[in-house]
Amino acid sequence: MNLVVAHGIGGSTDLPIPFTYALIGGAWALTFSFVITILVWKTPRLDPERVGSRLPAVLAAVSDDARVRGVLRMLAVALVGWVAIAAFAGSSEPSRNPLSGFLYVLVWVGLVPASLLLGPFWRVLSPWRTLHRWVFRDRSPLVRLPAWVGVWPGALGLFAFAWLELACSSNGEVWAVRAWLLCYVAVVLVGAVVFGREWCAAADPFEVYSTLISHLAIVGRGPDGRLAWRNPLDALGGLVPGPGIVTVVAVLLGSTAFDSFNAFPGWGRFVEDSGAPQLWRTVGLACAVLIVALSYWVSTQMVGGMTRAQRRLLPGQLIHSIVPIVVGYIFAHYLSYLVEKGQATLILLADPADAGWNVLGISNLTVSYVLSEHQGALATMKVLFVLCGHVLGVIAAHDRSLRILPKGHQLTGQLGLIVVMVAYTFGGLYLLFGG
């Protein structure tokens, strides 16, 4: 484990209150939010079609201008070429090559705040969509992608990335990251040739990830297609459940939880002493994803007054309520990683070939460890990110329950999911600080 041994910086000793109090307070905050919600929120209020004030006309025009988008797409393709220099001509020493940092930090972690601010930007700027458009124009796909495929390929791609980052013993080596990226590009491009650009929406793990997170974006399009400010919870209700979406969310939450679990000394000693560390980390990662998926699925089935067929639809209909939890936990776990490792990666990107280049004059800059130097503030932010994500999840689940659960079961039908959310709160805080 070279580059990614410690994504989250800070521990329980950095909390301004005792760790046990933080756990109990978090669970009570979530429980009280549920009680208050059921008392004052008696009818559905969230509307996916509702938008706020329109964006300034100039900003909206620039955003939708085909020439601007064309330039941004070319820059995205150029960035791929720039990173390819690091992959094939850069140093083999991970500390001098930006490839790992680019994938693990700028893409994987940076994708979340970018999607919250800009919406599904990966779908618009995807270099693979651009290359397909340049080569094949609007040619019809060779084969139509079956509807049952959904985002299952993207879920598998996300798990493959999580395996590389968290289970692969060579995760920080340049050759391993390069090999994974080559496989990723091949799968996306070959699939796009066969199935058309629909394949990118189904199989590009980063596009699937960005599109999911973008349902909490502060900017979106109204029914008329115009850009406007949005209440993220309104927009979240517009998430259309499809095949594989529950697995996508389970992989995201489970893999982030397992990343925290990897930092526990007892687990680390067991893995290293086992003689098969990669195997055990793979098993641990798979178990973490399965625990999230099964606990969520069981919690949605504890509803009376519904047929088996109706209950079968509930996991997809309520999965949007877990997205804020995923976002909150990712910010809590990776914020310092993004801010500080992100700076180091940008500095290395100024000289991808390790040849003495100094693009934009940033190669001589040093990293500012602004968060690591304020551990108490960082630990407090982690707790708040987790709690905010869970409270928003409770609100989203309650509003949707009022719409889809039968009368007489609208409150009791939520209890299973609320219990699981409390468990996620306890588990998330414990994994972040308990190690």
Which range among 130-139, 282-291, 331-340 has the greatest average pLDDT? 282-291
Q: What are phi and psi of 142, to 5 degrees?
A: -70, -35
Domain count along the chain: 1
Query: Is 194 part of a structural domain of the chain?
Result: yes
pLDDT tens, position by position, 181-208: 999 999 999 999 999 999 999 999 999 9
Specify if 100 maps to a domain. Answer: yes
Give the residue, 58 or 347, on which the prediction is more confident: 347
Query: What does the alpha-carbon distance between residue 87 and residue 76 come to, in Å, rounded to a whole number?
Result: 16
User: Under a CB-based contact definition with an 8 Å cutoff, are residues 35 and 203 in contact?
Assistant: no
| 405-426 pLDDT tens trace | 888 788 788 888 888 888 888 8
Does the residue 351 lie in any domain? yes
Domain-embedded: residue 43: yes
Model pLDDT, residue 11: 44
Among 348, 352, 356, 350, smallest CA distance to 89 is for 352
Is 95 inside a domain boundary? yes
Question: Is residue 30 predicted with pLDDT exceeding 80?
Answer: no
What mean pLDDT value characterizes the chain? 88
Q: How far apart are CA 276 and CA 273, in angstroms?
A: 8
CB atoms within 10 A of CB 28: 12
Per-residue pLDDT, 9: 41
Residue 364, domain extent: 12-433
* 264 is a domain residue: yes
Confidence label for 4 from pLDDT (cuts 50, 70 and 90): very low
CA distance 288 to 418: 19
Q: What is the mean pLDDT of residues 90-111?
A: 94
What is the average per-residue pLDDT within 94-107? 95
DSSP, res 326: H
Higher pLDDT, 97 or 59: 97
Predicted confidence band of residue 131 (pLDDT cuts 50, 70, 90): very high
Quick: pLDDT tens for 342-373: 999 999 999 999 998 988 888 888 899 888 88
Question: Which of the pair, 288 or 263, is modelled with greater confidence?
Answer: 288
Q: Is residue 262 part of a domain?
A: yes
Q: Which residue has the higher pLDDT, 35 or 111?
A: 111
Local confidence band at 12 (pLDDT 50, 70, 90 cut-offs)? very low
Give the other-Cβ count within 10 Å of 53's Cβ: 8
Is 77 part of a structural domain of the chain?
A: yes
pLDDT score, position 61: 85
Report the distance separating Cα 402 and Cα 410, nearest Å: 6
What is the pLDDT averaged over residues 134-155?
A: 91
Task: Label residue 15 by pLDDT band (50, 70, 90).
Answer: low
The mean pLDDT value for 142-161 works out to: 96
Q: Apex CA 260: angle with CA 257 and CA 262, to 5°?
A: 110
Q: Alpha-carbon distance 379 to 216, whole Å?
A: 24
Residue 228's pLDDT band (cuts 50, 70, 90): confident
pTM across the whole model: 0.91
